[in-house]
């Protein structure tokens, strides 16, 4: 883990991930565009889940490049990156299974969203947020679940529209598991930590 942490804090790696996450964020908002045009204004901040997660991480990476920490943004990024990364992997796998169609777009989305979840965990040693910041992130993510599945603002996957109640139920428990995991790797006193100072 020491070598991985050393590698992850190098400027080249941070800059590369920054570019990747900026491009991914732009594509993510573009992917949601057709849904956003039909979304009531007051729900807009809560609909594009994955690109907002990667946007949080863009600010985290910028802070890391400046040898700084933005604890609240780190908490929001860690929770949403992992949750929506795993969620999107599941949704795309489910969509391919139900439809019987395997597309290049699905494979790309699975790989990119798995990368989202992975980077959330790999950078945990560098986070400096506390349980208070994690609590705010918890409110954000559970509130997002309510917006998605009570007010029907969930991301649209036509192939899975018959399974929305089950998806909503599993999404809630994914939020719970995510919060417990992020607490374990980023908040508890016994966790592994690494210095942000890079070469």
Query: In angstroms, rounded to a whole number, what is the distance separating the alpha carbons of residues 22 and 58?
Result: 7
Reading phi first (left if > 0) and then psi (alpha if -120 to 50, else beta), residue 30 is in alpha
- Return per-residue pLDDT of the chain as tens, 199 residues: 688 889 999 999 999 999 999 999 999 999 999 999 999 999 999 999 999 999 999 999 999 999 999 999 999 999 999 999 999 999 999 999 999 988 998 999 999 999 999 999 999 999 999 999 999 999 999 999 999 999 999 988 888 999 999 999 999 999 999 999 999 999 998 888 888 875 4
Q: What is the reported pLDDT for 159?
A: 87
pTM summary value: 0.94
Domain range summary for the chain, segments of one domain joined by + = 2-186
Mention every residue, 6+ apart, whose C-beta is less than 8 A from residue 135: none
Query: In angstroms, rounded to a whole number, what is the distance separating the alpha carbons of residues 197 and 185?
Result: 20
Reading phi first (left if > 0) and then psi (alpha if -120 to 50, else beta), residue 67 is in left
Q: What is the reported pLDDT for 1?
A: 61
Q: What is the reported pLDDT for 197?
A: 72
Sign of the C-alpha dihedral computed for residues 25, 26, 31 and 35 taken in this order? positive
Rg (CA), the chain: 17
Q: What is the reported pLDDT for 198?
A: 52
């Amino acid at each position: 883990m020491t070598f991985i942490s050393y590698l992850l804090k190098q400027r080249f790696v941070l800059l590369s991930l920054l570019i990747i996450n900026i491009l991914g964020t732009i594509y993510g908002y573009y992917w949601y565009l057709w849904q956003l045009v039909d979304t009531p204004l007051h729900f807009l901040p809560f609909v594009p889940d994955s690109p907002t997660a990667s946007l949080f991480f863009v600010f985290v990476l910028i802070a890391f490049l400046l040898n700084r920490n933005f604890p609240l943004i780190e908490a929001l990024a860690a929770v949403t990156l992992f949750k929506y990364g795993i969620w999107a992997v599941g949704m795309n796998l489910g969509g391919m299974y139900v439809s019987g169609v395997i597309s290049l777009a699905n494979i790309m989305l699975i790989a990119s969203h798995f990368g989202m979840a992975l980077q959330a965990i790999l950078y945990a040693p560098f986070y400096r947020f506390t349980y208070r910041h994690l609590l705010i992130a918890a409110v954000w993510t559970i509130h997002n679940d309510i917006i998605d599945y009570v007010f029907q603002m969930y991301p649209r996957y036509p192939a899975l529209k018959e399974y929305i109640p089950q998806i909503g139920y599993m999404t809630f428990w994914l939020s719970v598991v995510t919060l417990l995991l992020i607490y374990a790797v980023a908040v508890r006193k016994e966790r592994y930590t690494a210095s942000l100072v890079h070469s």
